[in-house]
Structure 1
């Protein structure tokens, strides 16, 4: 891994996050739809401009991108380095006053190595998790069972059964980045998602989770792969390493 790329990823995520905080402050929440659209646009443009300036030879896959920078681009498939970014993860939450469950995702994929760097900025929470300074997640607490982060708007139908099977509880949250960060910081013990995501939703969170020693895979235990021709990557498990075996076993039984 390149420390320079890691520092760059952190700085870029934080710069976009600062732009988004300032936008919230200036626009307010009277027109949430306009705020969300402007947030997506401004964060994307800032990230693209900085990548073009600082990493001009690298390819980009962005949720808000078009052409070669979007999901239908083909040049990234043969590139040696690809930045996979979500300029504003949790757009719904960004447009809600008082909601801090939104993030900026910056990840670097390198041929032959996969994800090598990543940064997840949580601007409204006031911190960034990144691979340049791999976080250490705290020891498992004394709670009765694992706390599992799930989507607050579209949790998988099987999640109640999964929680019951492992003696755990569900914690609804917004933004894939916020949920993965909650695992890294020990606020929850696992994050399980099914039903639709793309590479930009999970690349940076997974890079950070792996750097912290957490488990991350598809819900069937298959390895996560990035820079695919189709960037759809619909399901994800991020959890404490010691919980992976039991969670994956129960998921295999339920699905």
Structure 2
């Protein structure tokens, strides 16, 4: 069944990707890339894409608030809207900017809609693969117009595949995770693009992913997609993920897999 909101936002992301982001891929000059924080780059494509996506979202929902990654870099006070009322859009115009700036894939465009502080819809688009995932809370997840589920038979822990982004983990947690990782069937290298990690969970390429830093535009879209497909997104202590929180996130294809991975990686 058609969903006008899912279709309209999906069309907006495709349009901005085709008009701005993809034409600049591997065509950036040094002047097109700058550092907005130590070790964190931004490109002209990020900024222009966020402008266009934000304007399009405001047209779709007049009176709504847009909290974009690049706008927050200029005005961190925008984050107060994450626990506010009404409609709030989260926008990551180019997720995986370091990849994009270096001429590497993957990268993605991501958006989530929060109503009264709770995620109610989300989109992740990989323009190079032309892969779009979208969902509404309570209505399931669509992957390229096909409803997708991540649940099914639960593999033994030694047969699981997933990603552990350990770079920013506190040392004590990192040691526990690295020791526990020997019990997992295959630990995959991170792709430096949260959007692609979530898409790979929807396709079954991996069954879990662990993060430490969880900026809202990086994770609100993907966590809702996984939840609506049957998976779970929880903090290390087992509490449900919320976009306004930070530090420590384990996402898995099913509750049973989440329990297996947590026991292997976090319980020592």
TM range (shorter): 0.7 to 0.9
In the superposition, the TM-score normalised over structure 1's length comes to: 0.82
Instruction: Supply the RMSD in Å over aligned alpha carbons.
Output: 3.0
**Structure that is richer in strand per residue:** 2
Contact 2:151–2:231 (8 Å) recurs in 1 = no
Cα distance in 2, alignment partners of residues 139 and 70 from structure 1: 43
Which structure 2 segments of 5+ residues have no match? Answer: 35-40, 137-141
Displaced runs of 4+ in structure 1, greater than 6 A? 29-32, 140-143
C-alpha distance after superposition, 1:85-111 (max 9, x if no partner): 1111110011223x2221111101112
Identify the range of structure 1 (236-245 vs 14-23) with the bigger mean alpha-carbon deviation.
14-23
Q: Within 5 Å, which residues of 2 pair with 1:175-186?
A: 175-186=193-204
**2:139 aligns to what?**
none
C-alpha displacement of 1:206 = 0.9
Q: Within 5 Å, which residues of 2 pair with 1:191-202?
A: 191-194=209-212, 196-202=213-219
Q: Within 5 Å, which residues of 2 pair with 1:1-255?
A: 3-18=3-18, 19-24=20-25, 27-28=27-28, 33=33, 36-66=42-72, 70-73=75-78, 74=80, 77-97=83-103, 99-111=104-116, 114-131=118-135, 133=142, 134-137=147-150, 145-151=159-165, 154=167, 156=169, 157-158=174-175, 159-194=177-212, 196-226=213-243, 228=244, 233-241=246-254, 242-254=256-268
How many residues were matched structurally?
Answer: 243
**2:38 aligns to what?**
none
Cα distance in 2, alignment partners of residues 150 and 76 from structure 1: 27
Which structure 1 segments of 5+ residues have no match? Answer: none
Instruction: Give the match's secondary structure for 2:113.
Output: strand
C-alpha distance after superposition, 1:201-235 (max 9, x if no partner): 10111111112111211122211123x3xxx5232
In the superposition, the TM-score normalised over structure 2's length comes to: 0.78
Contact 1:89–1:201 (8 Å) recurs in 2 = yes
